[in-house]
Amino acid sequence: MRKFLLLSIVLFFTYPLFSQAKTALIIGNGDYKHFSTLSNPVDEARDMRNALQRIGFEVILLTDGTEDEIYDAITLFEDKLKAKGGLALFHYGGHGVQVNGSNYLIPVNADIPDERRVKSRAVDVEEIVSAMASSGSRTNIIILDACRDNPLPGESRSASRGLAVIGNQPPDSIIVYSADAGTTAQDGLFTPTLLKYIETPGLEFYDILKKVRTEVREASGGMQRTGDYNQLESDIYLAGRGSGSGLIVEREEFGSLRISVFEPCEVFIDGRPAGSLEANSSAVLNDVKTGSRTVEAVYREGRETLEVRIYKNETSEAAFKQRIKKESPVDENNLVRVSGGTVEMGALLGDSDEKPTHFITVSDFIISRYEVTQKEYEAVMGRNPSDRNYSYGDDYPVNKVSWLDAIEFCNKLSLLEGLEPCYSGRGRSLACDFDANGYRLPTEAEWFFAAGGGTVGQAKSIYAGANLPGPVSWYDNNSSNTVHPVGLKNPNELGLYDMSGNVAEWCWDYYGEYTSSLKVDPTGPEEGRQRVVRGGGWNNLSTDGRINKRKSESIAGKSFNLGFRIVRRE
C-alpha cells in the first residue's frame, strides 16, 4: 500500500491504513435447567453467527452457556476488541430479568429461587456493556432478545416485566431491545425478522431497525414493539454501502485529521495523493498545516470532496497543552494536604463487610476540598452529564458519571496541568501508577482516612466530622429530594466538605472483604467485579453516610447521586 509525504502541508500517517475490524459475541440460551426451556434462541444464535460471518464479522458463538462459560466468552470478546478495535456487536437470546432497574442475563445452569440471588447467579448486562466501552472499540451495538416475562418463581417485589433502560450507555453506541423497555417479547419473532435484513448492502443499521419494528408490530398484532436507545455518531452499514460510498473527515486534537471511508478509494489532500484506503477503513494524519484543506476520495465510480478547516490552536500539541493548562478548573485553594498516619478502619457493630476492624497506614496525599463540581467537570470533559431533573448548575457536584468517566477525567485534568497521568491501559488491564504526580481517585483507605479527619479526627466520628448526620450531610430526610451545591454543610476536621452525603463517591479499589492484618497504603483486591462507593447520597438513608459504610457499583454504573472527588501525591 503506497503512502506519500506531502511536503507542502506536512502530512504523514501515524500507522498503516487498515480495514476496520468487525467483531461479534453471540449467545443463545434455551436448554435451561431451572427455568422454562426456549426452543428458538440456540438456532437463532447460529443463524446470526452465519449471517455476520458472511458480511465480514469475526464471531464468537456460545450456545446454552453456563455462568462460567458466559464470563469466559465476555473475556475473549473483550480481548479481541482490545487487540482490534473497530465495530463491536453483542447479541443475546434467552431468559433475562430486571431487578431494581438492573438487567441480568440468565445462564442455563442458574438456580435462582428468588430475586435476592439474581445478582450473584446471573450476568449483569452492564458488565458486558462496560467491557465493550473500555475495550477501545469505536462503535458498539448491543442487541437483547431477552425481554420475556419475569422468569423468577413466585411473587417478586423488585423484579419487573421485560428489561430496563441501561443507564451506562457508552458514546457511539446503540442498545436494541426485542421489546421496548418494561414490556415483554414473544419467543422467536424479533431475531428472525432482524436476520431478514442484516445482510443487505446499502441498508443503514437504523433503517434495518425501522423495518424490523414495523414487521414485529404487525406480526404481533400490535402487542410487541421493539425498542432502541441510539447514541450512534455516524451511519452504520453492517454489509457495506453497496453502490454508495461515504467519506468522513473528523478533526482530532493537535491538528490531526481522521479520514474514514466505506468503499476502496484513493485519497487526495489539496489535490496531492495521500494513499489508498480499503473498504471500511480509516487513517489518522498528524501535523496538518493551518487553513482550509480539501480532502477528496476517488472511487472506481465517482468521487467525493469535503472541505475542512484547521485552526492555529489545533496545530501544536505543546501549544495546546500550554493553553489548556492555563484553563485548569482546579483552584489550588480547594486542595487540602493530608498528613499520613495510622488509624483503625472498620466497625465492630457495623455491617458484615465492615468487619474485621484493622489498622491502615497511609502516606501523605492531597485531596479536593469539595466533590468535583459540574463546572469543573465540563471545563475538562466538554460536557455535563448530570441529571437535569435535579439541581443542575456550576457549584453542584457532577453526577451520572461512571467509574470509567472519573478515570478519564483524572487523566485529562493531569494533562491540563502538565502532570503525569496515573492511569494507563484499558478494560481489565487498566492500571494505576500511584507514584505518578497526576490526579486519580482516592483509594478506599485514603477516602476513609480523609473522611475520618486523618490523625486529627482519628476516625472517631460516626459521620465525616460529627456523630450526627444533620450538621455535615445531605440525605433523604433533609435534602428536599435534590442534590445541593457543594460546601453548604459543616466540614470535617480536615476542612473537607460533603464526605458524608450529597453524592456518593467513587474509589479506586475493587470491592472485597477486609483482612485483619495491618495494611500500608492498601489499594484493594487485585481483581473483582465492582468498585467501591463511599459516603452515601442525598436520596439515601442517613446511615449510608457513615464513614465506615461500604457500597459498590459496576465500573460503567451511573446514578444521579453518584460523583467523585480527586487526590494526588505532592
Query: What pLDDT is stored for residue 147 in this prediction?
Result: 61
End-to-end alpha carbon distance in the chain: 49
Task: Using CB atoms within 10 Å of the CB of residue 311, give its burial: 0 to 12 exposed, 13 to 18 middle, 19+ buried.
Answer: exposed
Cis omega (within 30 of 0) for bond into 151 = no
> What's the rounded mean pLDDT across residues 151-159?
49
CATH number of 19-230: 3.40.50.1460
Window from 61-75, 234-248, 527-541 with minimum mean pLDDT = 234-248
Share of the chain above pLDDT 90, in %: 43
- Per-residue pLDDT tens digits for 321-345: 444 444 566 777 789 999 999 999 9
CA distance 200 to 217: 21
> What's the rounded mean pLDDT across residues 356-360?
92
When the candidates are 3.30.450.20, 3.30.230.10, 3.40.190.170, 2.60.40.3080, the CATH number that belongs to 241-314 is 2.60.40.3080
> What's the rounded mean pLDDT across residues 48-74?
94
52-56, 193-197, 421-425, 502-506: which is most confident: 502-506
Query: What pLDDT is stored for residue 254 in this prediction?
Result: 52
- Per-residue pLDDT tens digits for 285-312: 766 666 677 888 887 656 777 777 665 4
pLDDT over threshold 60, residue 166 = yes
CA distance 169 to 563: 17
Residue, of 243 and 405, whose pLDDT is higher: 405
CATH class of 332-568: alpha beta
What DSSP designation does 276 have? E
Query: What pLDDT is stored for residue 519 in this prediction?
Result: 86
Q: Full-prediction pTM beyond 0.75? A: no
pLDDT over threshold 70, residue 191 = yes
pLDDT over threshold 90, residue 126 = no
CA distances from 159 to 150, 254, 267, 419, 487 (A): 7, 49, 54, 47, 38
> What's the rounded mean pLDDT across residues 118-129?
88
Task: Using CB atoms within 10 Å of the CB of residue 298, give its burial: 0 to 12 exposed, 13 to 18 middle, 19+ buried.
Answer: middle
The DSSP element (H or E) to which 23 belongs, if any, is: strand 22-28
Query: What pLDDT is stored for residue 324 in this prediction?
Result: 41
pLDDT band at 385 (very low <50, low <70, confident <90, very high): confident
Domain boundaries, the chain: 19-230, 241-314, 332-568
Query: What pLDDT is stored for residue 315 in this prediction?
Result: 40
Window from 72-76, 379-383, 528-532 with minimum mean pLDDT = 379-383
Q: Which of 258, 378, 384, 251 is nearest to 313 (CA)?
A: 251
